[in-house]
Amino acid sequence: MALAGLLAIAAVAAGRADVAHADGVPASADGVQIDVGGSGGGGFLADSYFQNGVADTNRSGSAGLPNFPRTVSHPIAQEQWNTFRFLESSYAIPDLTPGASYQLRLYFLDWYWSKAGQRIFDVAVNGAVVLKNFDAIQAAAQAGGDGRFIGVERDIDVTADATGTVHVDFVRGSADQPLVNAIVLAPPAP
């Protein structure tokens, strides 16, 4: 077994599943793309650096409209939209440049609910709430879609902490449980 695999197993055994990566590939100063709930591909890492929540896949039978131009500025592949993590969860994304700025791109598409108000939750980054009472279906509907199976991207400027980590928490709100499909940390454009 490769050293990276042994290190990942040791991290899990020590109760640090949040920093273990399935194939031992660390995040980098150049950013990271995470296929939340998925096995990675197309430049995305397999679901990594998380605690809690449940991974699942699109069972709707629809391909949806994930990269709706009015709600998604940085399109991603269908395969990343088709996987997700739901219930309360946290991501601690390490190995970034301490104190460096990044653009956090969060991708949301609800493959289960079809009406606004059925899933409302909060998102906190480094301990501060950045999305309060967030409803992806309502956001898609307000942008001109019917809201059903439409992807929504939210971009947030963040700074890696002194250890080079960005913490993202998906917190239960007033309806059902949080859900996220993909997480991207990109260096800001020059």
CATH number of the domain within which 32 lies: 2.60.120.430
- Cα of first residue to Cα of last residue in the chain, in angstroms, is 40
pTM of the predicted model as reported, rounded to 2 decimal places: 0.85
Structural domain boundaries enclosing 72 = 26-186
Question: What is the DSSP pairing of strand 179-180 with strand 83-86?
Answer: antiparallel
CA atoms within 13 A on the CB side of 99: 1
Q: What is the pLDDT of residues 113-157, one digit of tens each?
A: 999 999 999 999 999 999 999 999 999 999 987 888 999 999 999
What pLDDT is stored for residue 15 in this prediction?
A: 35
Name, in order, each residue with C-beta under 8 angstroms of 157's C-beta and a sequence gap of 6 or more.
101, 102, 103, 104, 188
CA dihedral 113, 180, 189, 95 (to 10 degrees): 180
Average pLDDT value over all residues in the chain: 87
What is the number of structural domains in the chain? 1
What pLDDT is stored for residue 118 in this prediction?
A: 97
| Coil, strand or helix at 45 | strand
Q: What is the pLDDT of residues 49-108, one digit of tens each?
A: 999 999 999 999 999 999 999 999 999 999 999 999 999 999 999 999 999 999 999 999
